[in-house]
Amino acid sequence: MIQIYGAGVAGTYLYYLLAKKGIKANIFDTRKTPDCRCAWGFTYSEAKDLYSKIDLNLDDYILVKPKNLFVNDLVLKNKNVVIVDKLSLLSDLWSGLEFRESNSEIIVDATGAKRAFLPKIQNDRIMRTLQFLERHEKDENIFVYFERHGYAWAFPLGGEWHIGAGGAFENRLQEQIKKLREHFDFPEKESKCSCVGEVRMLPPSKCRPFVSGKVVGVGEAIGCVSGVGEGNVPALKSAEILSESLENLEIYEKKILGEFKWLEREQKFVDSALKGRPAYHLLPMIIAFESKRLFRHSIFDFLRVFI
């Protein structure tokens, strides 16, 4: 028997993948309702393929396919990013679950940034986020105001907008959002709701161990998050890898590190930039990889924003 803790992106996906294989698992989450409608940008082709393996059609949950990404003064063409209705998607997955806890041979830590069951990470790096839900009449693009220590965003949700910021300094988040509002003309509006969040900004190699005793981690608990905080597809992919490694957990770590070399590069770049010594030599590979997956951009575009 397998006990999954955390019914977010990775935990729910793992549960249904295991069910498909006829492997019995229990799942439990401390929340009573799924995480709310925070921004859920997905790389469409990857997420569509992964979710199809549990017979979920991602197209049923797409709110918007934004035309462009505005980053400071740059406009980049969107290739493959869609905004998904997170609440509906998770609610539908939760409707087929009954939260239970049991004594199990394997415990899966799918608790995201909390990493509630694996040993704590030395020098963990958790970035805080702050977000609001507002109504604005604007074209459906993604807007990002980027600074070296973090960025503020506005994601279209189909009429409503998810406006937020994340970064290294919690006390600067409001200021980052203010700059985004001024730059892209998002006047302050009454917010339907607001909340804070956290993202782990460490690559998998810095989140070891992935396996400790009978606990094994997946998703953001083991650092499956990109340098810009993209963790949805990595969480799904890591859950798929775990579902294929349960018989032999010794190979799990190797498989995760092999799959997520791109996360290592991106987090290394962010780390170097935060220290004021950007590792520019990593950019060609990062940009070649990400312009295939997300938005069309060149090194020149990147440097214009970054410098």
Ligand X SMILES: Cc1cc2nc3c(=O)[nH]c(=O)nc-3n(C[C@H](O)[C@H](O)[C@H](O)COP(=O)(O)OP(=O)(O)OC[C@H]3O[C@@H](n4cnc5c(N)ncnc54)[C@H](O)[C@@H]3O)c2cc1C
94 binds ligand X (CB under 6 A): no
Beta-strand pair 160-167/150-156: antiparallel
Q: At what angle do helices 261-274 and 283-293 cross, to 10 degrees?
A: 120
**Any contact of residue 28 with ligand X (CB under 6 A)?**
yes
Q: Which of 2, 10, 17, 54 binds ligand X (CB under 6 A)?
A: 10
**CB 84, min distance to ligand X, A:** 9
Annotate each residue in 35-54 with x if it binds ligand X (CB under 6 A) or - if it does not, as one string.
x--xxxx-------------
Considering only residues 227-246, where is the footprint of ligand X by CB under 6 A? Answer: 229-232, 235
The interface with ligand X within residues 175-214 (CB under 6 A) comprises: 197-199
Contacting residue, 111, 176, 243, 245, with ligand X by CB under 6 A: 111
- The neighbour count for residue 193, using CB atoms within 10 Å, is 11
Give the angle 181-228-223 at the CA atoms, nearest 5°: 140
Closest CA to 30 of 103, 105, 116, 91: 116
Find out whether 227 and 120 touch, Cβ atoms under 8 Å: no
Closest C-alpha to 93, from 35, 44, 157: 35
User: Whole-number minimum distance, CB 22 to ligand X, in Å?
Assistant: 23
Considering only 2-10, 144-152, 167-175, 254-262, which stretch makes contact with ligand X by CB under 6 A?
2-10
Output the six-digit token pair for 26.
């229990």
Q: Which residues bind ligand X (CB under 6 A)?
A: 5-11, 28-31, 35, 38-41, 110-112, 114, 116, 129, 131, 164, 197-199, 219-221, 225, 229-232, 235
